[in-house]
Structure 1
Amino acid sequence: MRRQAHLTDEAALSVAQDYVTMVIGGQTFGIPVLDVRDVLGPQIITRVPLAPAEIAGSLNLRGRIVTAIDMRRRLGLPADGFAEKAMAVVVEHEDEPFSLLVDEVGEVLSLPSTLCEPVPATLGPRWRDVSQGIYRLEDKLLLVLSVGNVIDAVTPDAIH
């Protein structure tokens, strides 16, 4: 379901960007819709020995091994038992699939790119590192997630 967020008419006429929304620890995030390859319900995740804490493990997606990143751990939030019940947003980075484990996946929002603001300096460093912008919606803030920053921070040697 795609909808136009309630913004001014002038802003709605500007170039829009579509985002898949998701919730992590009560905060709404958005990923550009073109970066999302799949959305999955809870999956069986196999733990990878000696992997960083943010790596929940790996899962099998139609015969491909996909690294699962626990977004709660990545953001410094409590994550006990989270990976077993999390939704999985599958993205690709440098031709490799990754699954971002989130609390829930919402709708697709079409937002004017002119209303995207820089990430506030007051945002915690872990959150700032994974965000590339922020939208002030009527009832909440939407942080735009930088898929590359999320993945590069937890798997620097694995894909470079």
Structure 2
Amino acid sequence: MRTLYLIAELDGQRIALDAAHIDSVVHVAHVTPVPLAPRHLLGLAALRSRVITVIDCRAALALDPVAAEAAVRTAVVIDVDGHQYGLVVDRVEDVREISAVPSPVRARLGAGWNRAAQGMIDDGDSSLLLLDPVRLIAGAPQAEAA
């Protein structure tokens, strides 16, 4: 069975997201902050006459922020329970079908990666970390995020 995945990069790690959850990939130039929101929630943005919640995947995984704040962010737009979220990633590489079945992660990962990882997918001569977008939206627990 072949599954369509979006391949992206986050903090130097190649990741995969199941394309069944993805609406689009966009560039977000303006994000309006939400007062008292968790650190991983960057804010709200307008997208084609709709409002999306923008999630900082680095913060959701309790990773170090990028040195300079980007003026334009690349976001993978997903739909979860009728709400749209923009998952900010460093770079989008490709969308392609992969026939490999996800296998358990056999590497030492940080706590954030472990929480969001669904497994590894072999992609020819490299491996991709399959992430659960719902876990990215949930973000890091407060103790981990601090």
CA-CA distance at 1:68 after TM superposition: 0.4
Aligned residue number for residue 4 of structure 1: none
Which of 75, 83, 105 is equivalent to 1:88?
75
Which of 25, 28, 32 is equivalent to 2:14?
28
Alpha-carbon distance between aligned partners in 1 of 2:47 and 2:82, rounded to the nearest angstrom = 15
Q: Is 1:112 matched up with 2:129?
A: no
Larger relative strand fraction: 2
Aligned residue number for residue 57 of structure 1: 43
Gapped regions of structure 2 (runs ≥ 5): 141-146
Are the counterparts in 2 of residues 86 and 104 from structure 1 also a CA contact under 8 Å?
A: no
Aligned residue number for residue 122 of structure 1: 108
Aligned residue number for residue 157 of structure 1: none
Alpha-carbon distance between aligned partners in 1 of 2:35 and 2:7, rounded to the nearest angstrom = 31
Alpha-carbon distance between aligned partners in 1 of 2:126 and 2:91, rounded to the nearest angstrom = 16
Alpha-carbon distance between aligned partners in 1 of 2:82 and 2:68, rounded to the nearest angstrom = 30
Q: Is 1:77 matched up with 2:64?
A: yes
Give runs of ≥4 in structure 1 deviating > 4 Å. Answer: none
For normalisation by structure 2, the TM-score amounts to 0.85
Gapped regions of structure 1 (runs ≥ 5): 1-14, 155-160
Are the counterparts in 2 of residues 86 and 101 from structure 1 also a CA contact under 8 Å?
A: yes
Q: Secondary structure at the match of 1:52?
A: coil
Aligned residues: 140
- Identity %, equivalent residues: 30
Aligned Cα RMSD in Å?
2.0
Aligned residue number for residue 131 of structure 2: 145
Are the counterparts in 2 of residues 68 and 99 from structure 1 also a CA contact under 8 Å?
A: yes
